[in-house]
Each structure stands twice: as structure tokens, then as C-alpha cells.
Structure 1
Amino acid sequence: MYPDPWEKVRDYRRVREYAAEHPNAGRVRVGRALDLPAGRVRGWLKDAVPDPVRGINAAIDRGWIDPDPDGETAASLVALLAHVLAGGSIATESYLPAVTPGKRVNVAEIRDAFERVGVETRTRNADIDGRAPEVVPTCDGTVLGRCLVAMDAPTGVKTTLDHLPAVVWDVPRSVRRSFVRIYVRHRGLNYAGKSTTRVQVERPSSFIAELRDILDDVLTERVTTADAGVTISAAAARELGVE
């Protein structure tokens, strides 16, 4: 058993490298040389691939690892990241991402966000009373979730998230604007008699400050912070397209 999947990846690579350098070596010799059980080595010598390695290969094939910040894949991942941060979660044990639709963000839009990064989805809990429906991937979901975590998305509860993921600042301004628009559409509230949009989140003050910074970066109209949230003026909401 491997408590850390990365250790399994390293051992697999060690076996494959040793076998490439010693093509006539059998499982016993390889196991002794690398201090690994012969039974474990046997499968890897016969082209069995551990799940963590399959996951890495899937992420590479889909372009999810170190995508070009100016490319479409990065833009799609950042958009999905906005949906997860504002309206979803990543399971702590399985790393499966899930996004819940809301008043401004429907199931079709969330499905499209997943499909843009190359995965199909299903809606769970749709027919269960008292449970909010969630859009989840049907393939490579845990791999995608781990990639989102590598982009600084948290697993489990998000109340301790104290900063925006750094990748949001690495992409073009138009992609940051899309990130902000998605976030506000998920989290924005409008109150009777007020023309402003309020984004209330249970996050440390440092997160609120960064949210204000990125809003100021993509908007010219007024945005203010107070009481653990951000208030977007009516003009700023029109500018962002979230009236």
C-alpha cells in the first residue's frame, strides 16, 4: 500500500527505467535491485500501469498540466475553477469536483464549463428531496479535481481559503474578467430597494481583499468592501453583465 500516490508513481518509473537499462532482468532481479516486492514488479514489467500513473497520463493527454496561460485550455480551466470556488466543491477523499446551479447559473452552463475542459457530466441528487442538484464529471473526474487542487482550489470546506488562486492572475485580463463574472453570478445577491450587487462569502479578510483587487482590475466602475463581503455598484454590475 502507498499512503502517498506519488511514491507509487516514482517506484513505477524506477522499475520501468531499470527494465529499459536491463532488458533481460526478471522480476526477482529487478525487485532486489530496487528493494521492491517481486510480485509488485511483475505486473509493472508486463505493462500494467498503476492508477496514479494513468491519471497523470490522462491529465497530460488533456493538456491539464501546465497549460499555456494564453491558451484556450487555461481559460477553460480558470472558468471551471470559478464555478467550483463560487458554487461547488472538491471532495476531500475522492477529489471529485461538483458544482451546484443557482438562480443565475443553470445546469446547462455548468455542463458546458466541464465540457470545455474535455469531460462529460451527469446531474446527481436531481430527484432527491432536500438535496441540491450537483453537476459532476462522469470520466476522469478525480484527475480533473486533483488538477484543480494543484491550481489552489481547496478540498472540502472553503471557509479557510485565504487567497485567490495565483493562476487567475497569470491568464489574460479577459479570462480574469470571465472568472469574476462567473464568481459574481454564483455568489451575487440583490436586495429589494437597492441597485447594488452584494457578494457575501465566509472567507478570511485576505480573500475578500483579493476579490476586491481582481474586481478593480477588470472593472472601471466602483466596488467597495465591508462586513466580510464586496459590494458592486449598479454601474459596475452593468459593466460586468450581472445585473
Structure 2
Amino acid sequence: MSELPNIENLYRLDGKVCVVTGASSGFGDRFARVMSAAGAKVVVAARRQERLEELVADLPDALAIQCDVSSDEQCKKLIDESISHYGRIDVLVNNAGTTDAVHPAEEANIDLFRKVVDVNLNSCFLLSALAAQDMLTRQEGSIINVASVHGLVASAPNLQPAYVASKAGLVNLTRELAVQWAKRGIRVNVLCPGYFETELTQVMFDDERSSSWIARNASMGRGGTPEELDGALLFLASSASSYVTGVPLPVDGGWIAR
């Protein structure tokens, strides 16, 4: 029987360089703080530079890089500057995302559809490919995509075809990249959060009808709070998940179990 692990160190990220997109608010801000608390050096990226600077001021070892992930050039700049500053990338968290306004699919708003897919799916492919070029030199790395429970089930009655398609695509892209890179040391997994109360979703939770709908559909009878993603994030980022790849991990209060 092998030795028991040091439980205190199992989820540590000491010395690891973690890049988090969409870090100016919500999940991304929380992810950056949690990874830093676990010992990581953190690169935070988003469009709102002022928000990033405020975040970096709270962290012991962090770098802010302004980045619109819908721009191929800015994605490449993010990866290049991260490596230039810290020498490597150990963990990439593709968290940046957007959504489409609620509308029926027959309205065929193809421009909005393309915009959502570009941010939610295409950028994740490009950033993953660019980060993997560095990770493959060491045969080690973890990529964590952030999809949604609606990457696994439809959004009805919300009617968000672009969001659902992009997140479902991200789930299967995760599987594809995981298989391609598994024997070369890179793990790729995808978080699928349910409905969480954040700055961006506060209006939904403040609305009695919407909050009641969330409570009815989550088996636990409530939405989530951001800290309830901490464990899943650190699990996928750390050596605790060394034999886990290609996995969609729902953190949804039992939403899809119903």
C-alpha cells in the first residue's frame, strides 16, 4: 500500500503559474483569489484593466493583462506576456464568457450567435492551443474550461441558443483536447456550474420569479454561492486530480440529476 498523502498539500498550487481569463468579476475574480491563496502565481486577464489592477493589488504575486478574448491577437499576447513574465504556464482557466439575450431560435440572429460562440468557444480553443505549446515542453499542465450546466442540458424556458450551443461545444472540445494531450501530460477538464449568485447574476436572484425558478429546478432548492466552486477548481488545478481528464464536472446543486 502506498503512503497516505499529505492532506494539507493535496490541493496546494505552490509555485504554479495560473492564467485566469474573465477575471475582472464573478467567477474569475474568485478563481484568481483562491488559486493565489493556494500558493499560485496568478495572471489575471479581462477587458476592464482598472478592475484587474484592483484585484492584483490584493494578491501577493500576480500580473494583470488586459485582454479581449474575441481578439486572436490579444489572446496570443496574453499567453506570450504570461510566459515572458513568469517563464511558464502550469494552469489555464478559460473562464471568460458572454451570453445572448433571451430570444427564440427562429429569429435567426446569426451575428449574435457568432459573437457568443467566438467568445465562449473559439477563444477557449485558441488559448488552450497556445498554452499547450508551452505545457508540452514540460509534459505537464492543466486546462480548466468553464462551461455551464447548460452545456449538458437545454436552457428552456430561457431560450438562449447561442449560449447553449457554445457551452455544449466547449464540453466536447474539452474531451477532444483531453484525448489528444493525455499521453503528453496535459489534463483538460470542464467545470459546468449551475446558477450561482454573482455580480453578473444578481439581477436574476433579486427577481422573485427567477429566483423561485432556480430554487424549483435545483435539487438542493437554492442557487450556489461562489465559494462553493472553490473545491472543484482546486481539485482540477492540483495534483489531486492527476488521473482525471476529459471530465465535465457539474457543480449545480443537483440541477441535471432531476
> What TM-score, normalized to structure 2?
0.27
> Higher relative CO (CA 8 A, sep ≥ 6), structure 1 or 2?
2
> What TM-score, normalized to structure 1?
0.28
Larger CA Rg, structure 1 vs 2: 1
